[in-house]
Amino acid sequence: MMQFDGTEHPHRRFNPLTGEHVLVSPHRAKRPWQGQREKAVDETRPRYDPLCYLCAGNQRTSGEINPQYAFTHVFTNDFPALLPDTPPVDQAVSSLLQIEPVRGTCRVLCFSPRHDLSLPQMTTHEIRHVVDAWAQESAELGKTFRWVQLFENKGATMGCSMPHPHGQIWALDALPNEAFKEDNRQRDYLKQNGRPLLLDYLAVEVAARERIIVENASWVAVVPFWAIWPFELLLLPRSHVLRVNDLADSERDDLADILKRMLTRYDNLFETSFPYSMGWHGAPFDDGENSHWQLHAHFYPPLLRSATVRKFMVGFEMLGEAQRDLSAEQAAQRLRDLSEVHYTERL
């Protein structure tokens, strides 16, 4: 009888954070590609762009003038998806046609005054300012809103309309879908096992050492066993931490270090400014018992075979379940083998 080989045979992997599966079809990685290719993007940008709405000293569409900031700058989004004063819903609705108001706010976090630098091209000292801004904004917005979503859409491929290095912060008074799923799954796991799910998962990954990309004293970056995107990463602190604003000083330093190292590997993979959507998930800001939560960051990059070939979620993935061709272990090995010297800085 044929023996199962996870690098050759299709199989499903379970994601304990969401309760969902991913179909892995590693044999399909050998097929020739005749599908869509993205146009190569000209990555050359000036240090300062007088027409950029995010550069220091420039005027935004709202008429506001950005200060001459030296590191990070945060401001309320001029076109927010959430508003703090949404009125209540007063009409009766069917159980099948439910509607509820949501209140919140949206902010923009400029990572650097430099128009031409992304996170892996910044120094660890500069990235540490970004980490501190994440923590400060989380603590402040968490006083008012239940959920604070820190995230970055990097690159035009991910729908980012502003090339200046920046992230976003959306805060709202409800748990969004992904946070809701993770909240329930982590709560159930703690009840059944007595330990946080992601701390147990991290212990498994550290013991196996198959999917770890980079690590330091405080953090570990892995291609998760259940990864959906080709070179997806999960970033985890080694200690039990609920939220970004709970990180100790040394953990913040180490976070800046590991971000630079892992994101440099991303850029080096196809020698391009690697696009992705990333975001932090941590405990909600409420009065509930949240010891089941473990802080973590997801990185979802779409590039599949080169700087111009990307992964699309279509067909079976939209109607059935997510599917990938490259195994998590294969992706991890490719990222592990890359240099931590950014390709633009090589002699």
Distance CA(231)–CA(242), nearest Å, equals: 26
Which tokens in the block code for residue 204? 């498994």
| Element at 304 (helix H, strand E) | strand 303-306
Which residue, 259, 261, 264, 260, is CA-closest to 280? 259
Which tokens in the block code for residue 21? 């599966």
Non-local CB neighbours of 169 within 8 Å, separated by 6+ positions: 74, 106, 107, 108, 109, 137, 141, 148, 149, 150, 151
From the candidates 73, 115, 164, 166, give the one annotated as an active-site residue. 166
Q: Tell me the β-bridge partners of 296.
A: 281
Q: Please say whether the beta carbons of 79 and 64 come within 8 A.
A: no
240 is catalytic: no
Which residue, 284, 247, 278, is CA-closest to 148? 284
Could you give the residue numbers annotated as active site?
166
